[in-house]
Homo-oligomer: A and B are copies of this chain.
């Protein structure tokens, strides 16, 4: 999985009908030093993530492993909201300290 920050949303009305009701988040990837990378995914949301939160994003066939998504043409999924990232024994990110 990659670490990403929720930056926004994408809305599509004219889409494959299997995608009805799926919420699309624009999530921008974050590097191992905590900085935003020039790389993103439009990912389906499975956890109710909000703007600015750090999340875990799975790509590829993993994005269709949730019940009900087996036949959706998805290749990216937000699988968790991140509480903490620790690197070399130090805190890189702590959700509680962001607000």
Contact = CB atoms under 8 A, between A and B. Distances in A.
Interface string A1-20: 11100011111111110110
Contact of A1 (B14, B41, B66): B41
Interface residues of A, number: 58
Tallying the copies of this chain within the complex gives: 5
Interface of A: 1-3, 7-16, 18-19, 24, 26, 28, 31-32, 38, 40-43, 46-48, 51, 56, 58-66, 71-77, 79-89, 92
A75 B88 contact: no
Nearest to A7: B87
A9 B92 CA distance: 10
A96 to B, nearest CB: 12
A1 B24 CA distance: 9
B82 A73 contact: no
